Amino acid sequence: MEKLILHEYAPSGNCYKIRLTAAHLGLTLERRGYDILSGATRTAEFLASVNANGRIPVLQIGERFLPESGAACFHLAEGSTLIPTDPFERADMLHWMFWEQYNHEPNIATLRFWIAFVGEENLSAAQKAQIDTKRAAGEAALDLLDKHLEDRTFFVGEALSLADIALYAYTHVADEGGFDLARWPNVRSWLDRVAAQPGHIPIDA
């Protein structure tokens, strides 16, 4: 495989998903950090050469750039056990990855970012007005995860897949956004199982 460079903001769960996938696969990533709080991914240079969407993560593969964490993880993991070989299970893995980006990340990750990184006192009025809605939606997302995990070891099939990696990234730091995971015991047990897998690395590695 060509040289892999991860354009990232290290505390971002979306960036961690790619590092965690690479760690499970034994792949080495060169890391380039950007301070998103000071707008380092909105510069003309970044927009022109890394990602016109002005966001991290972006996985650079040789001279090609791949934005979106789910796409980057899928690309790294093709042909590995992190993607189920059964067609329905493979699609079901993508279901959880899309669900995470639509129902989980915009609530749980955004509240973490607003509270733990930006600071509640620095939020705009429009952001403050969304806190209650995002809190309720984040709790509903955790309810759904907890129910799904009642009788399952991992999200899809019987083994760790990209679905677990995608959901682990922001769930395991949900407390930083004010979610008390004691309310969701099946989620907590699953977090422990994911963290106990060979090849696991923490978000601050």
Segment holding 166, helix H or strand E: helix 162-171
| Contact between 170 and a copy of itself per CB under 8 A | no
Contact 136, 124 (CB under 8 A): no
- Buried b or exposed e, range 125-136, using 16+ CB within 10 angstroms: eeeeebbeebbe
Contact 196, 47 (CB under 8 A): no
Total residues interacting with a copy of itself, rule: CB under 8 A: 36
Q: How far is the CB of 68 from a copy of itself (least distance, A)?
A: 4
| Contact between 74 and a copy of itself per CB under 8 A | yes
Q: How far is the CB of 95 from a copy of itself (least distance, A)?
A: 4
**E-assigned strands of 95-152?**
none
Q: Which stretch in 18-26, 29-37, 84-92, 193-201 sits in contact with a copy of itself by CB under 8 A?
A: 84-92
Residues binding a copy of itself (CB under 8 A): 52-53, 61, 64, 66-72, 74-75, 78, 87-88, 90-92, 94-95, 97-99, 101-103, 105-106, 126, 129-130, 133, 144, 147-148
